[in-house]
Amino acid sequence: MNAKRPYKILVVDDHFVVRAGLRDILSHEPDFQVVGEAANGHEALAAYKRLLPDVTVTDLRMPVCGGLEAIRLIRAEQRLARILVLSSYEGDEDIHAALAAGAMGYILKHSSDDQIVPAIHALLQGKRWIPLEVAGQLAARERGEVLSEREREIVRLLVKGEANKEIGQALGITELTVKSHMKNILAKLRVRDRTEAVTVALRRGIVQLPDA
């Protein structure tokens, strides 16, 4: 372990209660010191530059600037930055996107008490931390078919309640083309109708609900 100083931890979450909870858990570890907190990605980048933490623990979805953007910003600043995602979102697309952006680990908030400390230790050793439940979601994604960017655009408009004609107008394509894409979307998501498609896409993290 580090004999010179505690490892510096930066906590990023838009909820104060979550940050306080993490602070409390990590305060019992003599090798860890929470040196800073942030409520969104922009604050996280500023804190990272100022504090140079050994590990950054971040939520995935936050207002103003979310976790994915925070990961990209920090990794652009320091490509070897160790970043652990702590999220309540367990959709395979959320997990895949976070790891693709540069996170070294992904744990779910409902299991954080048991996993947060060993996860941080793993990252400090240069290892990834992918629990079985997270690995299972990624494996399911690999077995399925991934939506194209055009199909994702259509699903985002479906979430807003748009009809095929409105979707076509918004994307500059014909209604017939929209119907063709819809057929592929239903097949890839293994659902029967538009309502099921929206439900599955939201659950998996393929799209998010629009801001109110």
Tell me: the pLDDT tens digits for 76-128?
A: 999 999 999 999 988 888 999 999 999 999 999 988 778 999 999 999 999 99
Q: 22-38 as b/e, with b when 16 or more CB fall inside 10 Å?
A: beeebeebeebbbbbbb
The residue to which tokens 């800073």 are assigned: 36
pLDDT surpasses 70 at 212:
no
pLDDT at 159: 92
| Helical spans, DSSP H, in the chain | 16-27, 41-51, 67-77, 92-101, 112-124, 132-143, 149-159, 164-171, 175-189, 194-204
Judged by average pLDDT, the poorest of 35-44, 117-126, 198-207 is 198-207
Give residues with Cβ within 8 angstroms of 60, minimum separation 6.
Answer: 66, 67, 68, 85, 87, 89, 94, 98
CATH number of 7-141: 3.40.50.2300
Residue at 42: amino acid letter: H
Domain ranges of the chain: 7-141, 149-204
**What tokens appear for 82 in the block?**
């160790």
Architecture of the domain spanning 149-204: Orthogonal Bundle (1.10)
What is the rounded average pLDDT of the residues 60-81? 94
pLDDT at 145: 76
pLDDT at 60: 93
CA distance 81 to 75: 6
